[in-house]
Amino acid sequence: MADSLDIGVLASGSGTNLQAIIDAAESGRVHARVRCVISDVPGAQALERAKRHGICAEAVERKDFESKADFEERIVEMLIEHGVKLVCLAGYMRIVGRTVLQAFPDRIINIHPALLPSFPGLEGQRQALDYGVKVAGCTVHFVDEKTDHGPIIRQAAVEVREDDTVETLKARILEQEHRIYPEAIELIAQGKLTLEGRRVRIADR
C-alpha cells in the first residue's frame, strides 16, 4: 500500500480536474491528499470547490508582486508550508517559471487537452478540430520550462466525430482528463515512475 502523497493544486478557473482529483483521493482510488489549492484568480470556482472539502484555498495575484520571481516565491512558500510533495496544475493559465520549477524538480505535472506534442498552448481542442485530425485527446505530463513540453506520463485518445463542435469535443476530452489525471497521480504515489530523458518508465509492480 502506498503512503498518502501530499499534493498542492494550482488552478485558475472552474476546477473540474481539481474536483476529479479530490473525489479520487476521498474515495481511496488515489493515495493522495490535496493539502492546498492556490489560484492566481480571486473568486475562481476552484477555490470554492476546495473550501467545500475543507482544503486550504487561497488566491495569490501577480499584480501584488513586483516580479514574477517574487510572485512565485510566495507560491513556493505556501506549498512548502503545507508539506506538498507533488504540484498539480489544473487549468492554471500561467507559465510556471524557474522559481517553482527549481523548488519542485520533476515534481510538477499538468493536464493538457491534446495529444502532445501536437497542439500545445491554448485551445488544444479547437486546434485539433481546425486541423482536421481524426483522433484528439489529452495528455498528463511533467512540467519543464517550455510550454506543454515535458515528458509524457499518460495519454487518452478521443475520436473526433464528423458533427463535433469545439464544445462537444471539449466535453468528451474532459471526461478522459478526469480519468487519467488521477491515474497519473496514483502512479507517482505508488512510486512506479522513472524518468529516463524524455521517456517515463512505468514499473509493473
Provide the 10 A C-beta neighbour count for residue 194: 10
Q: For 147, list phi and psi in degrees, rounded to 5.
A: -70, 125
Residue 78 belongs to what domain range?
Answer: 5-202
Domain with 195 in it: what CATH number?
A: 3.40.50.170
Contacts 24+ apart (CB under 8 A), 188-191: 188/5, 188/86, 188/109, 189/2, 189/3, 189/4, 189/5, 189/30, 189/31, 189/32, 190/2, 190/31, 191/2
Residue pLDDT tens, the chain, 205 long:
457 999 999 999 999 999 999 999 999 999 999 999 999 999 999 999 999 999 999 999 999 999 999 999 999 999 999 999 999 999 999 999 999 999 999 999 999 999 999 999 999 999 999 999 999 999 999 999 999 999 999 999 999 999 999 999 999 999 999 999 999 999 999 999 999 999 999 998 5
pLDDT at 1: 42
Strand intervals (E) in the chain? 5-11, 32-39, 56-59, 86-89, 108-112, 135-142, 152-159, 193-196, 199-202
144's enclosing H/E stretch is none
User: Of 193, 71, 84, 69, whose CA–CA distance to 142 is shortest?
Assistant: 193
User: Of 151, 157, 155, whose CA–CA distance to 195 is shortest?
Assistant: 151
Instruction: State the total domains in the chain.
Output: 1
112 assigned to active site = yes
Catalytic residue among 31, 53, 82, 112: 112
- What is the pTM for the complete model shown? 0.94
Report residue 81 as a C-alpha cell: 508550508
